[in-house]
């Protein structure tokens, strides 16, 4: 066994046998950092285009929905593959995991290329559907064009990050994301202001940063430092592999896609109250995403541990890791949420000095901070159900937050109370989805506890 194979085997043994808190810390911390950096990535464009005015800020916010759709499809492939890979590696089926990884990456890139061509055919209709007003539309089209061009690279980057994470190599996944973020931050002011490319410059900088991330994420595979082997000969577009991908991938696409639909619906409602309301929604959502991304990282770090442990039939380990994640996630979320609630005004002023943006943004941020703990509970439960290969439960939970909770809340509260009702809608949705998450996960935990009693 060569050194790379030994390291990979040691990683597998560490996940399955190591001290539980240490394993959760080592595996999840890089993913937490990755998600925090990813949210900074997302906020960077908004910060730099804020120099161009509220319409430019709103344009980037509108295109968040497009980026969510791209990410939804990419994550559908990536997380579907990651869940399968973690269980396969836990059962020591390394070649099967490699075939799934290669097939997923190639299929994801090809799918995204086709969809990018379709989306580019009529950009004005696309951004209009996403919620762009007449004043925002020119900026939105400039941004969307380059986001679509770079979307196949985005898909590959997301899939590579997920396959690395699935075998517990979260440190390199983190490094790939951080490197891309640094490049993006460096290029944004150059392209937006120095070269005078405006909003389009922000999108071009993002596309280039994704290419850098992709190259870095490929490095450990090229150096053969992974359990998974990325070899073109492993491309195996079989019914069996696509079925495994679909079991987790389709619910993920539906869940994240529904998030996009909910965002599009919210943007359209916000646009009816003016560009200031649209900018306020964009700023507050990006800021809250930064806070919740830490616990999203924890949830994603929990997934490979859960998958490995489930595949190896270590059921008591599955339960205890879930408990630790809930406790740690609650502490992180409440601390960051309290800080954001206190400094919400300063955060909003970083992006806009408009009093209307500030007034609505404060309500949006502080109401969501107040219910951050229930929101983060849903995030961890969803990742836990995905890792166990329970697509129907995880899919329903993901859909419920947006289809059952958020869209009706936005419609009813904005109709009754105008822009203020819109600001309260997301917090209301979090309370509803928390209740549904409890109903879905409690029977699963009871079943795993029963299996843990049968362990040798």
**Residue 411 or 286, more confident:** 411
Residue 285 sits at φ, ψ, to 5 deg, of: -65, -40
- Helix, strand, coil distribution of the chain in percent, nearest 5: 90, 0, 10
449 pLDDT more than 60: yes
Report pLDDT for 168.
66
What digits encode the pLDDT tens for the residues 256-275? 677 778 878 887 888 788 77
What digits encode the pLDDT tens for the residues 199-229? 888 888 888 988 998 999 888 888 777 777 7
- d(C-alpha 338, C-alpha 352), whole Å: 22
401 pLDDT more than 80: no
Report pLDDT for 364.
84
What digits encode the pLDDT tens for the residues 313-351? 888 888 888 888 888 888 877 888 888 888 888 888 887
DSSP 38: H
What digits encode the pLDDT tens for the residues 414-433? 888 888 888 888 888 888 88
- Section 22-47 average pLDDT: 74
168, 155, 160, 226: which is closest to 31 by C-alpha?
Answer: 168
**Residue 86 or 323, more confident:** 323
What digits encode the pLDDT tens for the residues 163-173? 887 776 767 77
Report pLDDT for 7.
62
353, 415, 405, 350: which is closest to 375 by C-alpha?
Answer: 405
Number of domains in the chain: 1
- d(C-alpha 54, C-alpha 355), whole Å: 12
What digits encode the pLDDT tens for the residues 95-104? 778 888 888 8
User: Which range scores top for mean pLDDT: 23-32, 136-145, 243-252, 281-290?
Assistant: 136-145
456 pLDDT more than 60: no
- Domain holding 399, by residue range, is 3-452
Map tokens 């969307």 to a residue.
Answer: 144
Token readout for 360 is 């609505």
Q: What percent of the chain has pLDDT over 70?
A: 93
Report if pTM > 0.75: no
Q: What percent of the chain has pLDDT over 90?
A: 4
4 pLDDT more than 60: no
């Amino acid at each position: 066994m060569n050194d790379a194979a030994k390291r990979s085997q040691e990683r597998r043994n560490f996940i399955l046998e190591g001290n539980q808190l240490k394993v959760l810390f080592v595996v999840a911390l890089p993913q937490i950092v990755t998600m925090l950096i990813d949210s900074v990535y997302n906020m960077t464009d908004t910060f730099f285009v804020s120099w161009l005015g509220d319409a430019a800020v709103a344009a980037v916010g509108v295109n968040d929905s497009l980026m969510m759709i791209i990410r939804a499809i990419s994550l559908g492939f990536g997380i579907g593959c990651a869940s399968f890979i973690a269980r396969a590696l836990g059962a020591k089926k390394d070649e099967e995991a490699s075939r799934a990884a290669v097939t997923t990456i190639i299929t994801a890139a090809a799918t995204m290329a086709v969809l990018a061509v379709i989306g580019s055919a009529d950009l004005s209709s696309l951004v209009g559907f996403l919620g762009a007003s007449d004043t925002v539309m020119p900026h939105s089209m400039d941004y969307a064009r380059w986001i679509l061009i770079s979307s196949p690279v985005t898909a590959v980057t997301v899939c590579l990050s997920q396959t690395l994470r699935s075998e517990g190599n979260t440190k390199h996944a983190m490094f790939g994301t951080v490197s891309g973020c640094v490049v993006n931050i460096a290029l944004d002011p150059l392209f937006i202001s120095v070269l005078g490319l405006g909003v389009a410059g922000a999108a071009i900088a993002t596309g280039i940063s994704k290419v850098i991330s992709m190259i870095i994420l490929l490095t450990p595979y090229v150096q053969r430092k992974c359990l998974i082997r990325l070899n073109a000969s492993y491309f195996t577009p079989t019914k069996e592999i696509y079925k495994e991908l679909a079991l987790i991938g389709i619910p993920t696409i539906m869940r994240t896609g529904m998030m996009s639909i909910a965002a599009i619906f919210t943007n359209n409602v916000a646009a009816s109250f003016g560009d200031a309301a649209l900018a306020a929604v964009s700023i507050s959502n990006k800021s809250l995403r930064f806070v919740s991304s830490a616990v999203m990282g924890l949830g994603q770090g929990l997934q490979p541990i859960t998958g490995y442990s489930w595949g190896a039939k270590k059921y008591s380990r599955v339960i205890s890791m879930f408990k630790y994640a809930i406790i740690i996630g609650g502490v992180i979320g409440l601390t960051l949420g309290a800080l954001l609630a206190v400094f919400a005004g300063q955060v909003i002023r970083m992006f806009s000095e408009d009093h209307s943006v500030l007034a609505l943004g404060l309500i949006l941020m502080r109401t969501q901070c107040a219910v951050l703990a229930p929101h983060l509970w849903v995030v961890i439960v969803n990742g836990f159900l995905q890792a166990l290969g329970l697509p129907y439960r995880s899919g329903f939970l993901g859909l419920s937050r947006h289809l059952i909770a958020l869209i009706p809340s936005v419609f009813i509260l904005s109709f009754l109370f105008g822009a203020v009702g819109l600001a309260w809608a997301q917090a209301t949705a979090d309370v509803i989805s928390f209740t549904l998450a409890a109903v879905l996960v409690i029977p699963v935990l009871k079943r795993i506890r029963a299996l843990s009693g049968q362990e040798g």
